[in-house]
Copies of this chain bind each other. A is one copy, B any other.
Amino acid sequence: MTGAVLCVREAAVATVILSNPGKLNAIDFAMWQELTAVVNDLAADRQVRCVVLRGEGEQAFAAGGDIEEFRVRRDTLDHALAYHAQVGAALQAVSACPQPTLALVHGACIGGGLELAAQCDLRICGKSSRFGAPINQLGFSMYPVEMEGLLRLAGTATLLEILLEGRILDAAEALAKGLVTRVVADAAVVGEAYASARRICEGAPLVARAHKQWVRRLQSDVPLSGEELRASFAFLESEDYREGLAAFLEKRKPNFRGC
Contact = CB atoms under 8 A, between A and B. Distances in A.
A58 interface: no
Is chain A's interface secondary structure helix, strand, loop, or mixed overall? helix
B219 A156 contact: yes
Interface stretch (A10-18, A29-37, A65-73): A65-73
Contacts of A80: 233, 236
A143 B202 CA distance: 21
A68 B212 CA distance: 26
A157 B165 contact: no
A136 interface: yes
Nearest to A164: B100
Interface residues of A, number: 84
A159 to B, nearest CB: 6
Interface in A145-203: 145, 147-148, 151-153, 155-161, 163-167, 175-178, 181, 196, 199-200, 202-203
Copies in the complex: 3
21 contacts: A67-B245, A75-B236, A80-B236, A100-B164, A121-B157, A122-B160, A122-B164, A122-B165, A135-B207, A136-B204, A137-B202, A138-B241, A140-B241, A141-B207, A144-B218, A144-B224, A145-B224, A151-B218, A163-B208, A164-B211, A164-B212
Interface of A: 67-68, 70-71, 74-77, 80-81, 100, 121-122, 135-145, 147-148, 151-153, 155-161, 163-167, 175-178, 181, 196, 199-200, 202-204, 206-208, 210-212, 214-215, 217-219, 221, 224, 228-230, 232-233, 235-236, 238, 240-245, 247-249, 254, 256
